[in-house]
Amino acid sequence: MKKHKNIVIFLIKFFVTYFTLVVIYTQYLGASQQKEAYFKTSSITTLVANQTKEVLVFMGYQVQAIQHQDEMSVKILFEGHYVARIIEGCNSLSLIILFLSFIIAFKGSIKDTILYGLLGSALIYVINVLRIALLVWLLYTYPAQNQLLHNVVFPAIIYGTIFILWIIWVRYYSTYKR
């Protein structure tokens, strides 16, 4: 057992952190979403949709982000066409929770953990907004590639980013002995 002590400690810290953050996030969703009378997505999901819209408007496109009337999502209209919808899973918070759980569990100094956690979370968020904007443009331009783009290419971008951040954390900031 002593041989696997670091692994056990890592797993305990990871799952305690992960489940604590998930409970907080679930409470936030319960307080900020509305499903009765009319739908209203969480403020972070709406923010991501609006920031995605702003990126595309900045690029010169006509884009609208509109609360969906029939489901918990924000519709993205690109050049007048309903191209995509942004749901709770698109807002990057669940991915940021996963990222933070790993770096907290894979021990580093308090200062490094806080700074890296904040900067890494911000980077994940920004990359997520840019990824969604690019996805919307590509879905409009190449609608036949919907499955490939949404299910393969774009998850690879965001999960790849998180994986690279984890590697950097372990290699340069973690205090675990190699």
Alpha-carbon distance of 115 to 10, in angstroms, equals: 20
Count of structural domains within the chain: 1
* Residue 25 amino acid letter: Y
Alpha-carbon distance of 20 to 100, in angstroms, equals: 11
Per residue in 119-171, pLDDT (tens digit) is 999 999 999 999 999 999 999 999 999 889 889 998 999 999 999 999 999 99
**Does residue 50 lie within any of the structural domains?**
no
Give me the percent of the chain exceeding a pLDDT of 90. 74
**Does residue 56 lie within any of the structural domains?**
no
**Does residue 79 lie within any of the structural domains?**
no
**Does residue 118 lie within any of the structural domains?**
yes
From first CA to last CA, the distance across the chain in angstroms is 19
In sequence order, which residues have a C-beta less than 8 Å from that of residue 48 and are 6 or more positions away? 86, 90, 91, 92, 128, 129, 132
Per residue in 19-43, pLDDT (tens digit) is 999 999 999 998 888 777 678 888 9
**Does residue 46 lie within any of the structural domains?**
no
**Does residue 82 lie within any of the structural domains?**
no
Per residue in 93-117, pLDDT (tens digit) is 999 999 999 999 998 999 999 999 9
Write down the pLDDT at residue 1.
63
Domain that holds residue 152: 2-34+88-173
Q: What is the pTM of this model?
A: 0.92
